[in-house]
Each structure stands twice: as C-alpha cells, then as structure tokens.
Structure 1
C-alpha cells in the first residue's frame, strides 16, 4: 500500500496512536453489514491503523457488539491495537446515563461485555454532565483504571473550562487526569482545535483526537446537487444533517467547496483526501478518526496521508483565503486557569 501510517503520542501520555483511526459511528451495527464491517476493520488494521473507536450509544450498543465479534474472530494480538469507547448514554432509565459513579462503572462493564474484552485502552466521557460533581466523575474514572477495566480516560465535546476543572480535581485529590479530548474539527469548524487545544496541551498535556473530519460527508462534495438517496443525510434520524446542507449557510459552504475542489485537483487528490490531509497537517492533532461505509471509501481516505506534504504554506494560505474562517486569537487567555 502506498500510504504510510505514522504514529504519535496521545497528548503527553506514552500511548502511541496511529495518525488516522477508525470510528464506528453511523456505520457498524447500522449502515453496514457485519461482513462489510469486518472487511473495513481488516483493511484498517492491515494498513497500520491501531486505534478503533466506538461508544455505548452507537446503534444502541450494536456497534460495540459488531466490533467485539470481529476482534474475537480475527484473533489479532490484544497488545497490537487500541480500543476506545465512550460513556454517557447507556439506556432509557435515569440511572443509565450521565457520568455518575454508578453509570461510569455499570456503563463500562456493559461495553466490555458487548466488546468481549477484559479492558478498553481509553474510556471517554461522551459529554460533560452538569448533574454530577466533577470530583465524583474523576474518582469514578480513576477507579475503573485502577480496576484494570481501562488504561486511560479522556473527554469528548468538553469545553476547555470543564477539562481544566477535571485536571485540577485530579491534581487536588491525587487522582488520574484525562489524557485526551475528542472533538469535531474540519474545514468549516476550527476555533477550538486551533486556538484552545494547543493551550491545553501546553498547560496540562491534553491530546486531541478528531472526529467528523469530513463534516458528516459535507466535505466530500457529494451534496453539491442535493441529497443523494444512499447518503448519510438521507438516513432516518439524520434530518438535522439534511436541514444543515439545504440551509442558506449550507449552500454557501457548497459554493466554497467548489473552489476548494479546484485546489484538490491541482495537487492531484480528491476533495475528501484534501480535507483529511488538512486536519492531519495540524501538528496539535494526534489522531483523525475516519468513518467508512465500505472498503473503497476507507482505502481512499487512508491515502489522504500521502498528500499532507503537498499542503505547502502557500496552499494552506490559499485555503484560508477561500474559506475565510481562520480563527483569530484573543489577547486574553482562552482557557480558565
């Protein structure tokens, strides 16, 4: 294979993650057959991807079941790959969601059962929980790590202020702080990753894992002429994405993408590959999670790593000009101390 996957430390931890990982949102247990899911995971692993991400909420637990079944079947060395899952929405009962000690422990045990694993490498808190004291949440994640059910914990979609609070609580009570934040980052959403995450990294060593580098498919260019029948925006439960694409802002974005596609043509790659390579160009990004509904799509997206070097300072400047959304740093500190 022509694409060469490199590895980075996850934040200031010693965990070495592949620069691209495989996410299972939308696809595993829902959009793809189990056979296709196995083909996708096999291609990922054989290409050098060592990071597989899922969540208790994905396809109501089916994504974890599908991933677990494939890992059991393939019998790859457990020490050769990383599995992360996310805890927050586990069920309909009031006690089956959130970041209470009860749900973190029960939710993670449920994930491990579905995954057929003794431990996950990283357990992420899938959003902040305003109903649970931060100390309780940090103590619970420290407990599951001490029990050997997870190696590390991280956050997902947390604000810098919440992440700093978790870190402060961990330091105050000699508990284990989070190692990484999972967050959305793409050509149309830049501020948090470009302004706030570098500061968090330098202050407390938090790494950055990116999801939705193609903005749920918007950055593939396939929505230029409307909503294709087999696209994600046409799926049941994704009307929010359809509305976003068909909105006035969505139309404006499609116009900008036509110009970005011309840049992609010039450097010899697809619009999707340019969008992924652009995310990987950011040195503060440790891993970009790729989603794929078939093997060809994943193969194309993995090839994006070849084009990182083609994104010269001049090309990056041109993209900034076309997009017109490069974040500007405030003079004041962006992150609460």
Structure 2
C-alpha cells in the first residue's frame, strides 16, 4: 500500500480507502461485511469511509464492530453528516448546528471511537447559513471529536467560501469527496484547480462508475446475475445511467489497454483516478472479501502517457465533463 498526504495537512491516508457504503448494514450480511473489512486491513488499507445516512446508521455500526480491537492510532476513520437519519424528522437532516452536534455524538457511539479523523459535510446545505455550519464544525474539532473537516460534492465556489471561513475559525478544511472516474470527469475543469489552490485533496468515490468500468456489463446482454444492476434495494438505480450500449461498447475498448498495462479492468479504473495528483485516495467498496485484494493492486501503479492517451481515445465523448454537474441538492433531500 502507498500513502498520500490529505490536503495541506500532515495526515497521511492509504491510496485506497475502504468504503463502508449501503452494502454494509443493508445489502450484505454483517458477517460478510466484517470479512470485507478484515480483507481490507490485511491488504494494507488503513483508511475507512462511511456516513451516518448509509443504511440509516447501520453501516457505521457494522464498521465499528468490524474495527473493534484494532489499534486506533493506526487507522483513519471518516464519516459524514447531512442526510436524513433516525425517524427523519424536521431537524434530522442538513448542516444545522443542532444536527451536526447531535450527529457527531451518534456517529462516535456507533463507530466505537472517541474521535473520527475526518468529519465531512456530505452535501452543501443551501438552507443553513454557511457560517453556522462551519462554526459547528469548528466546535467539533475543538471538542476533539474530529481531527479534520472535509466536504463532499461541493463546487469550486463553495469550497472557496468554506475554506475561508474555516481558516478564520482556526481549523482546516482539507478534503472534498466527489464522484470521479474515466466516465465522470466533472471536477477537472473547476473543482480540481480550486482545490489545488486551497490545499484541498479529493477522496473520490465510484472510480469504477458503479462497477461498469470492471467490464462485466456487456452491450446487448442482460446484466450478470447478482450484480449491482440487478439489485432492487438501490444498486440498480445508481448504475442505470451507465448501462447504455454506447457506453458499454466504449468500456470494452479498455480491455486491451488494461492487458497492455498488465492490469485488470478494475485495477486500470482505480489506477486512472490516482494519476490525478489532486486525488489523495480512491474509495473502493466490496460485497465479497475476495474483491479487495485484486483492486488494492492498483495502489502505486504509474500509467504511462501512452496508456492515458489510449484511455481518452476509447472513452472520448462518453465521459461527462460539465462542471455544472458538480452540485448539491437545492433542497434538504439527500
């Protein structure tokens, strides 16, 4: 495993972050989820990302149990706040002071830790003054409940405004967690340049475009049994945008490129996002322990310029690049 600094901080995280997402506490059994976490630890992953909204807090509980007994100082544990939790009442969502201060305590209890290394605003909250949100985060840091603060899916302007307030309040905003892959490049035009300017890193989710870049979905063919595209608990809805035959045909052009690089297609997809110097880590999920070791091999891989050019030629106009797609919901709906 290789490690990178997170933003303009002294915190190092593993190039591969294990994402404890909806699958854990919802779509797979808890013992399988725990074995996935164990496989991640065995592969050298030290960074684990979750959120209170995942499986309505159950994912945090699963992760806390799976990491129990591990040396806390050797781990980087991240979680997020924004989405509706619990009974999903009128104050159970958003980035108000009330919701942040109540949510951090709930997350720490479920994760069985005294602090998280990174506490993230899961989305931007247009209904709460940014000053209120950042003051609450400052208090969470001062109370020792989070070491650093990050955000997720914020625009370049939102990052600049949040970073300025954080600096004024005496704490660091060091990361953004956006979607990023060969097929989804919307952060490249505005978010990445702003982040480089501010000393903010990207921790990217869905580097395999919900599994499409694994190459297992074939044009004109039904989705493989048991794959995310057949999961009616939520997986099918998240992947459907990538299942057009045109996209799947383009993805199949990556197979010989991966072969030339000596990589599997999942490894190529993960290695590709890590070529961006502003990316500190790629989030990898798993529903089976055996998925972990193969994908971790993407850490430390350097793709030659010729390989990168071939990837661009294969994907071409199939990639979404519009920076306007980097946005949080206008309402408090998650």
Distance (Å, rounded) in 1 between the aligned partners of 2:124 and 2:114:
26
SS at match of 2:184: coil
> Could you tell me whether the CA contact under 8 Å between 1:8 and 1:19 is conserved in 2?
yes
Aligned length: 317
Indicate yes or no: 2:287 matched with 1:290.
no
Q: Which residues of 2 match residues 174-213 of structure 1 at below 5 A?
A: 174-192=169-187, 194-213=188-207
Residue aligning to 1:234 = 230
Of 249, 257, 270, 1:255 maps to: 249
Q: Following superposition of structure 1 onto structure 2, how do residues 1-337 of structure 1 map, counting pairs within 5 Å?
A: 5-72=1-68, 75-89=69-83, 90-91=85-86, 92-171=88-167, 173-192=168-187, 194-224=188-218, 225-235=221-231, 236-241=233-238, 243-246=240-243, 250-305=244-299, 308-309=301-302, 311-325=303-317
Q: Secondary structure at the match of 1:208?
A: strand
User: How much does 1:239 deviate?
Assistant: 4.1
User: Alpha-carbon deviation of 1:313?
Assistant: 0.7
Structure 2 Cα separation of the partners of residues 204 and 243 of structure 1: 35
TM-score of the superposition, structure 2-length normalised? 0.90
Once the two structures are TM-superposed, the CA of residue 42 in structure 1 deviates from its matched residue by 1.6
Measure how far apart 1:328 and its partner are: 8.8
Deviations 1:253-292, CA, capped at 9 Å, x for gaps: 1010111112112223221111111111222210111001
RMSD: 1.9
Shift of residue 329 of structure 1? 11
> What is the SS of the residue equivalent to 2:117?
strand
Residue ranges of structure 1 left out of the alignment (5+ in a row): 331-337
TM-score (norm 1): 0.89
**In structure 1, what is the equivalent of residue 328 of structure 2?**
none
Which segments of 5 or more consecutive residues in structure 2 lack a partner in the other structure? 324-334
